[in-house]
Structure 1
Amino acid sequence: MKGKSIYLRPFEEKDVKALTDFQIRNRLFFEKFSMLRENTFYTEKAQLERINQFKSDRELDLGYHFGIFKNEDGELVGTITLFHVIRGSLQSAIVGYFLDQTHNGMGYTTEAVKLLVKHSFEELKLHRLEAGVMPHNIGSIRVLEKAGFHKEGIAKKNVLINGKWEDHQVLAIINPADS
């Protein structure tokens, strides 16, 4: 999936070094918004295992994990994921993303979310996408709103982050073809 500044593609084994470096470089930054990880997570072995799990998830239609790469030089600047894909009467998934701290504010995440939404609705035929964001993370809420998501409410003490149950602003978007 190609946009103006970035493209999304599934991770491959050849991405293991770039993904490991990305995780190490952003560890402290990401831990402000996500769970704490064991030191073993920050190894090429662990990242290769994740890449292989991503492939399995995709094949089983359980999740879709993409790298966010800059068009100009192919640099990995982020990750974006559809997880908890549910078929049947729900046809839904949850969106999550991480962008390299040095690339925040450049519009890459908004572009990536828009590409993922388009892919989710047009190719995967999902009906609804949801995302949860810590209420004080105004930048991330703004990203989702620019991509067409609307606020639905606060999920109280919804996600365990750094040993504390944190509230999350729930945002969602519905496939316009289903209106």
Structure 2
Amino acid sequence: MIEGNSINLRFFTLEDAPERLRLQEENRDFFQRFAMERPESFYTLEGQEKIIREQIAGKENDEEYQFGIYTKQGLLIGTINLFFVARGSIQSGFLGYFMDEQHNGKGYTTEAVRLITKYAFEELKLHRIEAGVMPHNEGSIRVLLKAGFEKEGLARKNVKINGKWEDHVLLGIINPEDE
């Protein structure tokens, strides 16, 4: 577990599948505005268990690191992950996150981004983390900027969301030990 001031990050276990499902169902419409298309099986207990198994394997293979974002009282309010982890001469990963709509604007996402960035640099020894955000998602861009990311450019028609190829503002942060 990674402890923060207001929240904690914890790797998912199979026992977390019901809570993950609750979070996804309660925020389905909100999350779908920013996420890749998901099959109906995603919104089942079995679907969430499958995802957790894949994430556990991804961690074991040093390919991805998925955390739940929990309140200090233990309520799952979001997810945050490093994915497409590349080693060798690149030493980087991509960052993604979702926060329960009811908990947006409280600073939890910024804290989670800072915590996972610290973990990525100190524990995983990554050199760089990248994130892509749709230009109209100003709240998410603010989160990343507050967490120390810098705007680097625009990836045109980068990710298919709700059947449409969407542009993404690219942001990145470099491990301060490597600068």
TM-score computed with the length of structure 1 as normaliser: 0.98
SS in structure 1 opposite 2:120? Answer: helix
Name structure 1 gaps, 5 residues minimum: none
Matches of 2:177 and 2:75, distance apart in 1:
34
SS in structure 2 opposite 1:130? Answer: strand
The runs of at least 4 consecutive aligned structure 1 residues that moved more than 6 Å come to none
Matches of 1:28 and 1:152, distance apart in 2:
29
Query: What is aligned with 2:139?
Result: 139
1:97-131 residue CA offsets vs partner (Å, 9 max, x unmatched): 00001100010000000000000000000000000
1:72-115 residue CA offsets vs partner (Å, 9 max, x unmatched): x1000000000000000000000000000110001000000000
Query: What is aligned with 1:5?
Result: 6
Q: Percent identity?
A: 57
Deviation at 1:38, TM superposition (A): 1.6
Matches of 2:36 and 2:28, distance apart in 1:
10
Letter in 2 for 1:79: T
Deviation at 1:39, TM superposition (A): 1.4
Query: What is aligned with 1:173?
Result: 173
Name structure 2 gaps, 5 residues minimum: none
1:30-63 residue CA offsets vs partner (Å, 9 max, x unmatched): 1101122121110000100111111100000000
Query: What is the number of equivalent residue pairs in this alignment?
Result: 178
Query: What is aligned with 1:35?
Result: 36
Query: What is aligned with 1:17?
Result: 18
Query: What is aligned with 2:59?
Result: 58
Matches of 2:40 and 2:47, distance apart in 1:
10
Query: What is aligned with 2:80?
Result: 80
Query: What is aligned with 1:107?
Result: 107
Letter in 2 for 1:103: H
Calculate the aligned-residue CA RMSD, in Å.
Answer: 0.5
Matches of 1:90 and 1:108, distance apart in 2:
29
Matches of 1:113 and 1:22, distance apart in 2:
19
Matches of 2:6 and 2:148, distance apart in 1:
19
Matches of 1:157 and 1:142, distance apart in 2:
21
